[in-house]
Amino acid sequence: MSLRPTVDFLLYDWLDAPALSGRERFADHSRETFDAVLDTCERIAREKYAPFNRVVDTQEPHFDGEKVILPQATHDAQKAYAESGMLSAAQDYEVGGMQLPYTVEAAANAFFAMASVSIGSGMLTTGNANLLMVHGTEAQKNVFALNEFSGRFSGTMCLSEPQAGSSLSDVTTRAVPDGAGFESDPLGPRYRLKGNKMWISAGEHELTENIIHLVLAKIPDENGKLVPGTRGISLFIVPKKIVNPAGELTGERNDVALAGLNHKCGWRGTTNTLLNFGEGKYPVQGEAGAVGYLVGQAGKGLHCMFHMMNEARIGVGMAATMLGMAGYLASLDYAKNRPQGRPMGPAGKDPAQPPVRIIEHADVKRMLLAQKAYCEGALALELYCARLVDEQHTADAATADDARLLLEVLTPIAKSWPSEWCLEANSLAIQIHGGYGYTRDFPVEQYWRDNRLNMIHEGTHGIQAMDLLGRKVLMEGGKGLSLLAGRINETIQRAIHVPELAAHANALGQALAQVGAATKAAWATGEPTDALANAVPYLQAFGHTVLAWIWLDVALAAHAAPESNARTGRLAAMRFFFHYELPKIGAWLQVVSSRDQTCAALPEEAF
Ligand SMILES: Cc1cc2nc3c(=O)[nH]c(=O)nc-3n(C[C@H](O)[C@H](O)[C@H](O)COP(=O)(O)OP(=O)(O)OC[C@H]3O[C@@H](n4cnc5c(N)ncnc54)[C@H](O)[C@@H]3O)c2cc1C
């Protein structure tokens, strides 16, 4: 069983991706060029990534005192990825890109996430370089971004610190002007940075000639004090090795030192590091302090960083989805081959009969259909969001603005929903394998360990929930929420006329009304402490409603297709979602609407 037919169906039968070639930017593209990209990525993922997924898990990165050592397979896989041109797929032709729609780029990258998420397919490097293409100077684009797109350099994002994770306003990394004339450096205003950055993915390795760190730091005021809050945060390019304005390495190391590698539960193929900036281990021109170049305006660092974080959040959602999908396909294969137990018959189980394969048991089918509903639904959501990114960049002004607002509301769901439910899918995949699933002889435990990260990084579940209920559904007078409700109602209107889908259309209408009422009730007192006490149950209910909408919309496309096993499966996954999952929102929204304080009000001593 392969992922490709699902991707093709979603891209071509549901999202009509080839219609994008009607836009000037994508005029040279067609289904043929999209297929060629998908074919190449599928092949590289199959040959260079999938066979080594266990290798990168067991051969964790290690530091030999000088260098971080990674398996040869990681070097080979990343080289093949860079050579495919995927790092710059979305860029203009004139800088060597393919002007590929993001919808197709995201679909193509899904193959790598499924084959080996932690070998990585350059999400951080592309995100880092994309940010510089928007906020950097011409020199910063040429020297840093273009060398990242070519695969010569790689990128990181350095936000978190040991004492500042969710609360980035508390970062204490300092950046001070680097001597007289600091403003006239050709690579941008030059500063010296000192501080520690924790959890930095791909922060140290020998995979590329250089590593370009994008670092959040504060510039002290005239009294040497750091400006409190996020307003004081600026963004800096800090290369591991110093480069000249022609992009050549000068031979001098920048003052960025590896303080240690973190030993993770999963996702072990990517290094994770504590980095010390400016401690003096590698003085630059005899002086301690990491050399960094300001990106954009001072004090606007978080704004610039959000450019990278929004893309990264869709990427995280896609990674979670594809880990779920990998577990689904592995457990489907296992269930088709594992004989165990006998069928329930009118006369009870007959021990004289041969055992059946476990896929014949209703409960195993339930676990398979749950995984299919979670993972294919999540894939559809991620591709829908990717399509909105293309709308935002290439549609007429009004459509583009709608896409922007819809993305604001949907991004917390795109990041969080697969992180929770495709992780649950991985748990079900282990369950289907029984005891074997709990061993390292089968791949499913690794998928679960790899996936467990996704509810933590790029904004934890709790932080995403507060972003949704505390900001996104309220922003611009609630316009984003109204727009989303409008899209959901359009789907309901189409489905209500299809007898097989009409009941589901009604159920979705009721769910939408419940979410709307709960949003109002949560904010009825206007007190964030009341409204946000149950932000996570709100996120869960909102996410399930969005997924029910996505499934109903996908079901409309499936319904219109000729009879096939795939069509039967898609319609069944939609029904599963409506029968087994959507009713859960009642319990979640109950505590939201009543502003239940059971958790929030409990004194610490009572735990
Ligand atoms: C493997 C891995 C890779 C990572 N890669 C990177 C990277 O490349 N770059 C980078 O900058 N960072 C990276 N991170 C850091 C990641 O983004 C943080 O771990 C995350 O933001 C949470 O911060 P924290 O770990 O300090 O937890 P905390 O912020 O201490 O949170 C702990 C718990 O408290 C909850 N909590 C915190 N504040 C609130 C609040 N106000 N209200 C309600 N609940 C709250 C959280 O939801 C969470 O459940 C990575 C982390 C990991 C584990």
Ligand 1 site-directed mutation target among 216, 309, 456, most atoms within 8 Å of CB? 456
Proportion of the chain above pLDDT 70, given as a percent = 99
- How far apart are alpha carbons 441 and 408 in whole angstroms? 42
Would the pLDDT of 34 be above 70?
A: yes
In terms of residues, how long is the chain?
A: 607
Q: How confident is the model at residue 349 (pLDDT cuts 50, 70, 90)?
A: confident
Q: What is the pTM of this model?
A: 0.97
- How far apart are alpha carbons 246 and 248 in whole angstroms? 6
| Residue pLDDT, tens place only, 184-227 | 999 999 999 999 999 999 999 999 999 999 999 999 999 999 98
| Residue pLDDT, tens place only, 453-478 | 999 999 999 999 999 999 999 999 99
DSSP string, 255-271: SEEEEEE---SS-TTS-
pLDDT score of 344:
82
Proportion of the chain above pLDDT 90, given as a percent = 94
- Mean pLDDT (whole number) for 20-29: 97
Would the pLDDT of 129 be above 70?
A: yes
- Mean pLDDT (whole number) for 332-351: 87
Burial class (CB in 10 A: 0-12, 13-18, 19+), 108: buried
Known active-site residue 458: yes
- Which ligand 1 atom lies nearest to the CA of residue 164? 26
pLDDT score of 347:
64
Whose C-alpha lies nearest to ligand 1, atom 13?
199
Would the pLDDT of 603 be above 90?
A: yes
Ligand 1 site: residues with CB under 6 angstroms?
A: 156-160, 165-166, 199-201, 264, 267, 272, 453, 456-457, 460, 462-463
Asked if 508 and 488 touch (Cβ cutoff 8 Å), the reply is yes
pLDDT score of 121:
78
Who's near 304: CB < 8 A, 6+ residues apart? 131, 134, 135, 235, 295, 296
Q: How confident is the model at residue 18 (pLDDT cuts 50, 70, 90)?
A: very high
pLDDT score of 140:
98
Q: What is the mean pLDDT of the chain?
A: 96
Distance 587 CA to ligand 1 centre (A): 28
Would the pLDDT of 151 be above 80?
A: yes
| Residue pLDDT, tens place only, 77-111 | 999 999 999 999 999 999 999 999 999 999 999 99
